[in-house]
Amino acid sequence: MKFTTTAILTALYSSVSYTSTAWTTTSSIRSMSNTNLRMSTTEETTASSNVYTFAKSEEIFAEAQTLMPGGVSSPVRAFKSVGGNPVVFDRVKGAYAWDVDGNQYIDYVGTWGPAIIGHADDAVLDSIKATMDKGTSFGAPCALENELAKMVIAAVPSVDMVRFCNSGTEACMGMIRLCRAYTNREKVIKFEGCYHGHADSFLVQAGSGVATLGLPDSPGVPKSATAATLCAEYNNLESVKTILEENKDEIAAIILEPVVGNSGFIRPTPEFLQGLRDLATENGAVLVFDEVMTGFRVSYGGAQEYFGVTPDITTMGKVIGGGLPVGAYGGKKEIMELVAPAGPMYQAGTLSGNPLAMTAGIETLKRLSAPGVHKELERMSQMLVDGVIAAGKKHGHAMCGGTAGGMFGWYFCEGPVYNFADASANSDLEKFGKWHRLMLERGVYLAPSQYEAGFMSMTHTEEDIQKTIAIADEVLGLLAAE
Ligand SMILES: Cc1ncc(COP(=O)(O)O)c(C=O)c1O
């Protein structure tokens, strides 16, 4: 029995629109397709790979859907935009993840960025265990906060003082209030496709999960909450100038991802960041780099160090928590001293600065600060992106992509992609969905959305990269044969 690739892919992807109630049907179609794909691969290509099956994941996820909205604790994890159900993880180590069916993956999601030194690093785990013996939360000052604060202040050019909180969303909520308090202005400029967490005022053209789900804005966000949020186009200084002219002396802040990771991966043009720096200064607005994703990832000092442009305020998260919940915002002393209790701008948190997260962050940064780490991360990221794009071109696919330190991405379009409009107008999302599933079934775990970046870790090896490229070659060949 031999199925054509097209028939297999049609069967495979006709299953993705099934809802939770039909999961067994979906599951059986997929496992039939998996078998067929394995046969097809063995017969038609030399680079055959074992194609995974996901019976236990399917079972657990079916139950999860009855217990939690969409079966997940954060939307993108549900794989809605790529089709099929997510795999359920059992454990992670280094560059790898294992699901509950025992399938092993080369992981390029890295728990969405924090796992830059590799998952479950022994030194980090040992330190967390040692701290845990003293308790899990103090709700009182602890010396570990000073230690992590000193590391952050030493590394990030814009940061003289820092406030720790529990997530990137919280950091951005504190940051926007601080910008408004400092300038005594209300309006802010953000950029289409940039994500700054799920606070009401940022859920405008917000990229990431919001774009993935086709929800440019979310119901439940009062109009009044977003009325002061003005959207400009990324890499387009003119669009910023226009807003500044139309809202003279009213803009509190210009807020952006200095490298976009929430519309897929987009680098700023050389003149864009410096242009924003100049415009913010000229207009009395605070320039904010949201480095929740890029901080300590594109270089040790973040995107501001990588590109040599210093904002007034920086938000952080992910890497500085070493895999535990953390967020932070920091900036010039004169601005940060407005934050309570030093100043009147209120922001607080029961678990903020908790000893476990501080410990994981400290140990992670110690490892990450070794010389040459980020150069190596970029070399590996570039090797991966070049290899995958070359495989795509070989099989006749339009593809483009890029890297910055340990962050990377590619689109199924010719490119270049300068902003969210380019990404959403040109990239082939259907192809991305198929690509994602076929890579997953062969042991490569990629972000389940075209609108997310990829993350390299210190534990990925050249062998992992070459294996990923070989699998990509096979998958892109299958897609070309459709
Ligand atoms: C740039 C940026 N800002 C803010 C956030 C929100 O962070 P968190 O998910 O920790 O709330 C994210 C999350 O991915 C992000 O990428």
Which tens digit of pLDDT belongs to each residue from 276-324? 999 999 999 999 999 999 999 999 999 999 999 999 999 999 999 999 9
Q: Which amino acid is at 287?
A: L
Output the CA 168–ligand 1 centroid distance in Å.
4
Q: Taking residues 86-95, what's their average pLDDT?
A: 98
Q: What is the pLDDT of residue 31?
A: 33
Output the CA 398–ligand 1 centroid distance in Å.
30
Alpha helices in 45-80 (DSSP H): 55-67
The reply to whether omega before 355 is within 30° of 0 (cis) is no
Tell me if residue 290 is catalytic: yes
Q: Taking residues 344-353, what's their average pLDDT?
A: 97
Position in ligand 1 atom list of the atom nearest CA 261: 16
Look at residue 91 and give its three-state secondary structure: strand
pLDDT grade for 218, boundaries at 50, 70 and 90: confident
Output the CA 144–ligand 1 centroid distance in Å.
23
* Identified catalytic residue from 99, 290, 464, 473: 290
CATH class of 2-119+371-480: alpha beta
The answer to whether residues 105 and 98 touch, using CB atoms and an 8 Å cutoff, is: yes
Between 3.40.640.10, 3.50.50.60, 3.40.50.150, 3.40.50.11820, what CATH number should domain 135-368 receive? Answer: 3.40.640.10
Q: What is the pLDDT of residue 219?
A: 87
The reply to whether omega before 270 is within 30° of 0 (cis) is no
Q: Which residue has the tokens 């992106």?
A: 385
- The domain ranges of the chain are 2-119+371-480, 135-368
**Residue 14 backbone class (left: φ over 0; alpha: ψ -120 to 50; beta: rest):** alpha
Mutational pocket test of ligand 1: of 116, 165, 194, 262, the residue with most ligand atoms within 8 Å of the beta carbon: 262
* Strand spans (E) along 301-437: 313-317, 327-331, 400-404, 407-411
Whether the pLDDT of residue 5 is over 80: the answer is no
Tell me if residue 126 is catalytic: no
Closest C-alpha to ligand 1, atom 7? 168
Whether the pLDDT of residue 27 is over 80: the answer is no
CA dist 414 and 422 (Å) reads 10
Q: What is the pLDDT of residue 299?
A: 98
Alpha helices in 68-117 (DSSP H): none
CA distances from residue 255 to 111, 172, 234, 247 in whole angstroms, order as listed: 24, 10, 11, 16
The answer to whether residues 417 and 423 touch, using CB atoms and an 8 Å cutoff, is: yes
What mean pLDDT, rounded, does the chain reach? 89
Whether the pLDDT of residue 194 is over 60: the answer is yes
The pair of three-digit structure tokens given for residue 77, joined into one six-digit string:
């994890």
Closest C-alpha to ligand 1, atom 8? 168
Q: What is the pLDDT of residue 204?
A: 81
Question: Of 12-21, 174-183, 235-244, 443-452, where does mean pLDDT reach its minimum?
Answer: 12-21
Output the CA 7–ligand 1 centroid distance in Å.
39
Question: Of 46-50, 219-223, 428-432, where does mean pLDDT reach its minimum?
Answer: 46-50
Mutational pocket test of ligand 1: of 293, 316, 449, the residue with most ligand atoms within 8 Å of the beta carbon: 293
Q: What is the pLDDT of residue 393?
A: 97
Output the CA 284–ligand 1 centroid distance in Å.
26
Closest C-alpha to ligand 1, atom 16? 293
Pocket of ligand 1 (CB under 6 A): 112, 167-169, 172, 195-197, 257, 261-262, 290, 292-293, 317, 327
Whether the pLDDT of residue 215 is over 90: the answer is no
Strand pairing of 96-99 and 286-290? Answer: unpaired
What digits encode the pLDDT tens for the residues 108-143?
Answer: 999 999 999 999 999 999 999 999 999 999 999 999
pLDDT grade for 78, boundaries at 50, 70 and 90: very high
In angstroms, the first-to-last Cα distance of the chain is 19
Q: What is the pLDDT of residue 33?
A: 35
112: nearest Cα among 297, 288, 306 = 297
Q: What is the pLDDT of residue 1?
A: 28
Count of beta carbons in the 10 Å neighbourhood of residue 233? 18
The pair of three-digit structure tokens given for residue 247, joined into one six-digit string:
């809202």
**Residue 41 backbone class (left: φ over 0; alpha: ψ -120 to 50; beta: rest):** alpha
Position in ligand 1 atom list of the atom nearest CA 318: 10
pLDDT grade for 383, boundaries at 50, 70 and 90: very high
Position in ligand 1 atom list of the atom nearest CA 257: 1
Whether the pLDDT of residue 250 is over 90: the answer is yes
pLDDT grade for 4, boundaries at 50, 70 and 90: very low
266: nearest Cα among 296, 295, 235, 236 = 235
Q: What is the pLDDT of residue 211?
A: 52
* Identified catalytic residue from 80, 190, 318, 431: 318
Q: Which residue has the tokens 């953390």?
A: 326
Q: Taking residues 55-66, what's their average pLDDT?
A: 98
DSSP letters, 322-351, are TTSS-EEEEE-HHHHTTBTTTSSB----TT
Q: What is the pLDDT of residue 132?
A: 98
Q: Taking residues 210-233, what's their average pLDDT?
A: 77
Position in ligand 1 atom list of the atom nearest CA 172: 4
Q: What is the pLDDT of residue 42?
A: 33
For a pLDDT cut of 90, what percent of the chain falls above it? 83
CA dist 112 and 134 (Å) reads 29
Q: What is the pLDDT of residue 278?
A: 98
CA dist 147 and 134 (Å) reads 17
Output the CA 474–ligand 1 centroid distance in Å.
33
369: buried, middle or exposed (CB in 10 Å: 19+, 13-18, 0-12)?
middle
Tell me if residue 182 is catalytic: no
Q: Which amino acid is at 423?
A: A
The answer to whether residues 435 and 467 touch, using CB atoms and an 8 Å cutoff, is: no
Position in ligand 1 atom list of the atom nearest CA 170: 11
Phi/psi of residue 289, nearest 5 degrees: -100, 120
Q: What is the pLDDT of residue 337?
A: 98
Q: What is the pLDDT of residue 7?
A: 35
Q: What is the pLDDT of residue 313?
A: 98
Output the CA 153–ligand 1 centroid distance in Å.
20
pLDDT grade for 6, boundaries at 50, 70 and 90: very low
Q: Which amino acid is at 32?
A: M
Whether the pLDDT of residue 207 is over 80: the answer is no
Mutational pocket test of ligand 1: of 256, 296, 318, the residue with most ligand atoms within 8 Å of the beta carbon: 318
Output the CA 194–ligand 1 centroid distance in Å.
10
* Identified catalytic residue from 18, 96, 182, 195: 195
CA dist 441 and 437 (Å) reads 6
Whether the pLDDT of residue 273 is over 50: the answer is yes
CA dist 266 and 263 (Å) reads 7
